[in-house]
Structure 1
Amino acid sequence: MMRRKALGLASVAAVAALGLAACGGGSSSSGGGGTAAAYNAAVTSVVNPSTHKGGTINYGMSSTPDSFDPGNTYYAWVWNFSRLYAQALLTYKSCPGQCGLQLVPRLATSLGSVSSDGLTWTFHIRPNVKFSDGTTVTSQDVKYAIERTYDRSVMANGPNYFQVLLTDPTYPGPYKDKTPGKLGLTAIDTPDATTLVFHLQHPFADFPYVLAMPQTAPVPPAKDTGSNYQLNIVSTGPYMFQSYQLNKQAVLVPNPDWSAAQDPNAKQLASKIVITLNMNANDIDNRLLAGDLNVDAAGTGVQTAARAKILSSPSLMKQADDPVNGFQFFTYINTKVPPLNNVNCRQAILYAYNKQSMQTAYGGPVQGQIATTAMPPNIEGYQSFDLYNAKSKPTGDVAAAKAALAKCGQPNGFSTTMAYRSDRPREAQVAQSLQQSLAAVGIKLTLQGFPSGTYYTDFSGAPKYVHQHGLGLNIGGWGADWPDGYGFLDELFNGNAIVPTGNTNISELNDPTVNSLFTKATTTTSVSARNAIWAQIDKAVMQQAVIVPGVYAKALLYRSPNLTNVYVQPYYGMYNYAVLGTK
């Protein structure tokens, strides 16, 4: 499967964003269930709940989207932002805390039904949902939207789960489709205007998560202009595009054909939404803190200077949130490079390294929480455990490390090479931290930097190169396309994920027990039973000591006092853009 290529998180230092809040008149009415402004208040509660309508919310970015087209994007913030103008079949419940990890219907009427063999999924869409041009959405519009994603020459940016999972993987896409209506994908049936039947190659219990991606937002075939569709998107959400100057600015206004009763996980409160692109990141932060701006669109947190200001000011700090964002930084331990092909040698590393020093290298507690598991806390199936005494001995357990070294036949330690991305200063600091702490037990690391652009294709992600050059340790990081164990763990630890280049199972774990648990999970329809399997896999992976946990990544977000209905949506790890309003 595709990795979560940013759901914006791979570049945690990437950009903040803006918003000039033009406040409308009138008073706010409380929606209830909220909390007063305080540090981290919006992580678990709604801050400034309100049903007040009016005002303008301005978003901003120091870069550009890959595309605003719901079918052609793989950025986290765009997936979040697109909920304002596009209804996918399913979505995540709009609520703070663990509640926000729940899948709920959006365009669909339910979470679907699956056949006894797990190969056929049936969904119905709500009748009388309208596009912003007044026409009625049909099941064929959803099918067509999914068909578009098959043509990678036109739709290059989004994930490719449908091609992998459905029964017609060679379908060329609608732009080359010669069938009437360009609806020739045989893997999806539309027996009537509100029914979709999906045919899978193999059982896949996580299929509903795939349908929560914005690629399932309907597209009217007659209005599709391929890669230029982002310039004239036909909306199904609470807002529609009034204008879009490519890579400069977009203006959204209320969609008169949207029904709040049909779409309870979104709101239509602001009178206008403006997003300005290619802004200076530090300028965005300064204006945000000065009260001129509302929203950090990227959701990856403020820059270093703004972070220092916020943390040193009680008044600013109470308007900030520092959530775990679903991304995790860690170091792979390759199981094929001697002597790390011995589990005891790998376990020695996990006992020995200084967890606090590594946390500091990743930016300190505000940038990450010390990790003890393979999965971060906001992934369904997560269970807290600590096999290597990270909590009781956060500076390292030297005695346990030496005992493990004795078991692996290396009582005086050993030497290996550690790879990191040389154009990422933070990774160099992490590598140096690990080098220093492991030296205390005789493990000597030679540090080797590689460029980010070819790190996975030519070096750490190329098993042959790893073996030939003895890359025993390789820095990495991960975020899931959806918030359960499969979405996070499969590409990292399933034996069938090992490939000659672009490899993401850099540890090269190919354990029959772990592999069989992945297979079992894909056919287990009970959510609770599946979550129990993810916890089993997590613990098995940590017992095998194939990664050095770094930190569960966090992002310091500034919460404008002028915003209403503000809370962190845990799936996105940022504020829920679908419900924001202004005072």
Structure 2
Amino acid sequence: MRRSAPAVVRAVGLALALALALTACDVSDIPRDPQRVTMAVGRDITSLDPAATFVSANQLAMNLAYEKLVVAEVADGRPTGRMLGQLAERWETSADGLQWTFFLRPGHRFDDGSEVTAEAVKFSFERTLKLKAPPAQFLFFLRSVGAPAPHEVRFTLRTPVPFFLQVLAVPTASIVNPKVMAQAHGSDLGSRWLATHTAGSGPYRVARFEKGQQVMLELNPHADRQPEYFKEVSFLIVKDDATRAIQLAKGAIDIVDPVSGTVDDWMAAQPGVQVVTGLSPTVSFLHLNNERPLLRDVRVRRAISLAIDRELIGKALYSGRTSLLRGVLPAGVPGHDASLPLPRYDPQAARALLREAGVAPGTPLRFTVVGDGSGASPLALAISSQLEAVGLKVVIERISVAARTKIMKGDFDITTQSINLDFPDPSIIFNFVYNSAMIGGANFPRYRNAVVDKLITQADRSLDPTERVDLYQQAQRIVLDEMPTVVLFQLDWQRAARSDIAGVNYNFSQPTFYNFDTMRRAEAR
């Protein structure tokens, strides 16, 4: 049973060796310019609209083209816990935590030269709620937004939210120029246009959007924060791990993020390349569709968990750069419970549970894999092999990133997903994975439990840290017992860059986001 993951690794290693042998020239035709920085992206960038998507690949350019009211302070790769004003000069809150007032810094301008005002902030949040796309779920607690003065914004919440400032620092809270409505088609609120354009006040704006190829950013001449060195930022779509590694080694690109565990050792050995690893709050899940007849039975869900050798997969596919979780929350996140047991690998017990549940050998299970690469991911192949070893017949179905709404609609049996905690609060995982109100959006397992819903609601409303931890731990014990989804592991994150890239202030809590506006090449003066 244990041969599956190493076999996958050997296949991937062979593919890389062939790629290295066959690649004799630079695969990139982008001319080198020291003031252009190029980052390879492994997935298609499908939309740049902050209100339409929270897929990390889409947020790369978004994070540079837009500003938010606040940002998290970062030091040595980790958030310090302090929130800093970006568009906001200062803010205050009411005693009951239901009203927050922000006072804007004057002088911030969108890329057309118009000023960022309170009305623009109000428009941006109301637009997100009206679109009702997945990012609107971040704002479930928002009752209204007002603009009592040109530079004064007032948020009224339905309930106190202890992590409100942290939510305002994610790309979903980007402030969009209200003039985008001139590009609206029907009821799309300009979303079609914003999929390939930007309308923000950040240091860059979109110069060129080539679907499936690249997104090129240029300077925003009206930005308050003008870049110190890089005049252009290019996000190049390169879906193959080996090709990204080769391009970086040849100097055709500057940054690869993330670095696949199948190429990290080779990449680290290349001259002029630096590979940096950090613990990220990224949790990998194998989601089980709880509405499927087969997976309604908790014995089947538990059997699937027991069939997966997480340690072997972590060593073979990620060079050991994974950590098994006690529960569903990483260490350092409130609610993490070190007393919980680690997940168990026991294929014999898995087979027994399947027999007890009346699951016949060869019962089909459709594994829907989201990705734009040339084949199924090594993780999907390894999991499939281990599930087949206990008697299930796994059929892998590949769909594009653009078609992932298929999963939101519940048209799958099992699928993988990695969730990154943009800030260290348990509400992200519990609301996105286990809150029944999120079914049809972020709740891929389509899990329903009224007691868990109530505990999550109580925790999200409480301003008492001790009470919140207790409530989340109660919910955690329930979901571990019912196993609506399988927690695989916490991932380390690796990024690689040419050694002449300097001034990186990287936040491992928000992987792939770079401070390109303050970065430079080391030889630049």
CA distance in 2, matches of 1:294, 1:581: 11
Unaligned 5+ runs, structure 1:
1-15, 24-54, 168-186, 260-266
How far 1:523 sits from its partner (Å)? 0.9
1-side partners of 2:505 and 2:204: how far apart? Answer: 23
CA offsets per residue over residues 107-150 of structure 1, 9 Å max, x none?
A: 1234652562x544332222343445555422112112234435
Pick aligned residue for 1:67 from 13, 25, 47: 47
How much does 1:87 deviate?
A: 1.2
Counterpart in 2 of 1:486?
A: 427
- 1:194 counterpart (129, 148, 151): 151
Q: 2:233 maps to which residue?
A: 274
- TM-superposed deviation, 1:349: 6.0
Match runs of 1:495-534 below 5 Å: 495-497=436-438, 499=439, 504=443, 506=445, 508-510=447-449, 512=451, 514-526=452-464, 529-531=467-469, 533-534=471-472
Post-superposition Cα deviations, 1:57-113, rounded to whole Å, max 9, x if no partner, equal: 233546653334544543324434433332111222233444267544321234652
**1:447 partner amino acid:** V
Match in the other structure for 2:275: 319
1:211 aligns with 2:175: no
Matches within 5 A, 1:18-33: 22-23=33-34
Please name the residue that 1:294 is paired with.
254
Contact 1:145–1:215 at 8 Å: present in 2 too?
Answer: no
User: Does 1:356 pair with 2:311?
Assistant: yes
Give the TM-score taking structure 2 as reference length. Answer: 0.72
Q: TM-score, normalised by structure 1?
A: 0.66
> Cα gap change, 1:458/1:317 in structure 2, threshold over 3 Å: closer, same or farther?
closer
Cα drift, residue 286 of structure 1: 1.9
**Deviations for 1:31-56, whole angstroms, at most 9, x for unmatched residues?**
xxxxxxxxxxxxxxxxxxxxxxxx44
Check conservation: 1:491, 1:504, Cα contact below 8 A.
yes
SS in structure 2 at match of 1:93: strand
* CA–CA distance in structure 1, aligned partners of residues 39 and 47 of structure 2: 16
Is 2:158 aligned against 1:143?
no
Secondary structure, aligned partner of 1:489? helix
CA deviation digits over 1:421-469, x for unaligned, max 9?
2673542430221342xx4xxxx4343444547998778964xx99xxx
Name which structure has the greater RCO, CA cutoff 8 Å, separation 6+: 1
Q: Which residue of 1 aligns with 2:487?
A: 549
Matches within 5 A, 1:57-456: 57-61=37-41, 65-99=45-79, 103-110=83-90, 112-114=92-94, 116=96, 119-131=98-110, 135-150=114-129, 152=131, 159-161=135-137, 164-167=140-143, 187-222=144-179, 225=183, 226=190, 227-228=192-193, 233=198, 235-237=200-202, 239-241=203-205, 243-244=207-208, 246-247=210-211, 248-253=214-219, 255=221, 257-258=223-224, 268-275=227-234, 277-278=236-237, 281=240, 282-296=242-256, 299-302=257-260, 304=262, 306-307=263-264, 309-310=266-267, 313=269, 319-321=275-277, 323-324=279-280, 326-332=282-288, 334=290, 341=297, 350=305, 353-359=308-314, 363-365=317-319, 368-377=322-331, 380-381=333-334, 383=336, 385=338, 387-390=340-343, 396=346, 401=349, 410=356, 418-421=365-368, 424-426=376-378, 427-436=380-389, 439=390, 444-450=391-397, 452=399
CA distance in structure 1 between the aligned counterparts of 2:219 and 2:502, rounded to whole angstroms = 18
Deviations along 1:291-331, whole A, 9 cap, x unmatched?
Answer: 343123xx333595x445225x2757753436536241335
Higher mean C-alpha displacement, 408-417 vs 63-72 = 408-417
Q: Any conservation in 2 of the 1:111–1:123 contact (CA below 8 Å)? A: yes
More strand by share: 2
Residue 479 (structure 1) shift: 1.4
- Whether the 8 Å CA contact 1:493–1:508 is kept in 2: the answer is yes
- Secondary structure in structure 2 of the residue aligned to 1:559: strand
Give the Cα separation in 1 of the matches to 2:511 and 2:335: 16
1:329/1:223 Cα in 2 relative to 1: closer, same or farther (>3 Å)? closer
Q: Give the partner amino acid of 1:476.
A: T
Q: Contact 1:142–1:218 (CA<8 Å) still a contact in 2?
A: yes
Contact 2:66 2:176 in 1 (8 A): no
Aligned to 2:487, the other structure's residue is in SS state strand
State the distance in 1 between where 2:28 and 2:459 align: 39
CA distance in 2, matches of 1:351, 1:445: 13
Task: Look up the SS of the partner of 1:538 in the other structure.
Answer: helix
Q: Which one is further off, 553-562 or 533-542?
A: 533-542
Amino acid at match of 2:384: A
1:359/1:504 Cα in 2 relative to 1: closer, same or farther (>3 Å)? Answer: same
1:398-431 CA-partner distances (Å, limit 9, x unpaired): 7xx59x979x995999877644126735424302
Separation in 2, partners of 1:326, 1:493: 17
Counterpart amino acid of residue 221 in structure 1: P
Q: Which residue of 1 aligns with 2:416?
A: 476
Distance verdict in 2 for CA 1:475–1:287, change over 3 Å: closer
- CA 1:269–1:199: 2 relative to 1, 3 Å: same
| RMSD between aligned residues | 4.6
